[in-house]
Amino acid sequence: MTEVTNQTAPNHARALPQPGADPTQAPPWWLTKPKEIRAFLESLAGVTVEEIGQTAGGRPIVAAAWGEREMLPGRTSSSLQQAIAGRDPSAFYGKGERRRQVLLFVGATHGTECEGTVAMLNYLNIVVTGKDLLGREWPAMAEEGRRHRFLIVPILNVDGRERALDHVSWLNVNPDYHAMISQGMRHNGEIIHWPASKLYQPMSTAQFRIVGTYMNDAGINLLGEPPLGADAQPETTAWLRYARRELPDCVLFSHSDNGSLVEAPNTFIPSHYRQRVAQIAALVGMRCRRAGLAKSGIVQRPGPYSGETWGQEAMAYHACGALPLLVEFPQGWKNVPDTHQGILDIGLHAIDEICAFGNRYRFRPRDPQKA
């Protein structure tokens, strides 16, 4: 995105916003670029890496796995809906309980929202080595994490990520500049702010000089695309197939904003799942508060900010029965937190609290017919 300067602007006089803080600088352990992430994952003992599909732009989508794979016996139905309607969800999930629950992390559906990915990769390093990528030891986190199996799609929207590849940090960056890169800008220089970017789907280069990193190369926001039709984007097909194959117990969709942490549950998952999401959201906020971190809020709305709409979380539940969580990690908006390490620590504590909840109470709530 370094080509976006006033010198290359059309003849009109509108000045482009400047970033304020340097978005291209971050510590070496702040891994956000697809190639460096893949190299890191392939270097970790016990981690297997595979390509689960390609983006609209033809780029590989990578997934990494750690922890023994355990599929329950006795599955007789590939349809969760049919299994529940037939009065036995275990026909879909299998009989019994996994010893090792599975958490699927889906990062950067919005291409430059990588703070959760940074935290997840550090968490994985803690699970494998006992230390984060700064060399700090976290023995309690390692113990919680090692009881799970992790599936990690570090960057789902590789197209959007590569559109601004050198942009690795949003710490204290001018919000107008951030909007220009992440949401988009028209040919006349008008910057599109959130949530107005959601009004353009697909976002085309005919209308937009900068297509925001929210979008894949087809101009689609993967968070809100219709996944039920035959025209699903390849990224959506890739993670859904992966989730159907692996049957995770929890899917964590990682996004970034000011750091509102676990969002209110999606309307279109069952009420006992919505209750689970709300419980975890409160615990994550409290955990960060007790740790004295710069972000520790709990969501104040009873429902999602987007209204009663279908989205990735509902896709995850209805495809594989997992508990879906949408977590908004902090980007350092207005310099809060004011360091990359501060952002990382909020992410580590949030992920750890989610893992700890799974270990104590399990991710998937019991079916109310059997509770």
Residue ranges in contact with Zn ion by CB under 5 A: 110, 113, 255
Kindly state the helix (H) or strand (E) to which residue 29 belongs, with its residue range.
none
Nearer residue to Zn ion within complex by CB, 110 or 295: 110
Distance CA 71, CA 252 (A): 20
Nearer residue to Zn ion within complex by CB, 255 or 276: 255
Distance CA 205, CA 193 (A): 17
Rounded to a whole number of angstroms, the minimum distance from the CB of residue 1 to Zn ion is 18
Rounded to a whole number of angstroms, the minimum distance from the CB of residue 346 to Zn ion is 16
Nearer residue to Zn ion within complex by CB, 108 or 319: 108
Rounded to a whole number of angstroms, the minimum distance from the CB of residue 224 to Zn ion is 10
Nearer residue to Zn ion within complex by CB, 133 or 179: 179
Residue 349 CA from chain centroid, whole number: 16
Q: Which residues contact 89 (CB under 8 A, 6 or more apart)?
A: 80, 83, 321, 367, 370
> Cβ distance 237 to 153 under 8 Å?
no
Q: In what order do the strands lie in the sheet with 250-257?
A: 48-54, 60-66, 149-153, 102-107, 250-257, 323-330, 261-262
Distance CA 223, CA 313 (A): 9
Rounded to a whole number of angstroms, the minimum distance from the CB of residue 113 to Zn ion is 5
Rounded to a whole number of angstroms, the minimum distance from the CB of residue 271 to Zn ion is 25
Mark residue 334 as left, alpha or beta (left: phi above 0; alpha: psi -120 to 50; beta: remaining): left
Nearer residue to Zn ion within complex by CB, 110 or 276: 110
Nearer residue to Zn ion within complex by CB, 132 or 328: 328
Nearer residue to Zn ion within complex by CB, 90 or 183: 183
Q: What tokens does 40 get?
A: 């890191």
Rounded to a whole number of angstroms, the minimum distance from the CB of residue 136 to Zn ion is 28
Burial of 28 (0-12, 13-18, 19+ CB in 10 A): exposed
Rounded to a whole number of angstroms, the minimum distance from the CB of residue 160 to Zn ion is 10
Distance CA 291, CA 304 (A): 26
Q: Name the residue with the smallest CB distance to Zn ion.
A: 255
Q: Which of 180, 162, 158 has the alpha carbon at shortest distance from 19?
A: 180
Cis peptide preceding 304, ω within 30 of 0: no
Tell me the torsion sign for CA atoms 113, 114, 115, 116.
positive
Rounded to a whole number of angstroms, the minimum distance from the CB of residue 182 to Zn ion is 9
Nearer residue to Zn ion within complex by CB, 142 or 168: 168
Nearer residue to Zn ion within complex by CB, 132 or 313: 313
Nearer residue to Zn ion within complex by CB, 28 or 307: 307
Rounded to a whole number of angstroms, the minimum distance from the CB of residue 223 to Zn ion is 6
Tell me the torsion sign for CA atoms 160, 161, 166, 169.
positive
Kindly state the helix (H) or strand (E) to which residue 299 belongs, with its residue range.
none
Rounded to a whole number of angstroms, the minimum distance from the CB of residue 320 to Zn ion is 21
First to last CA, the chain: 53
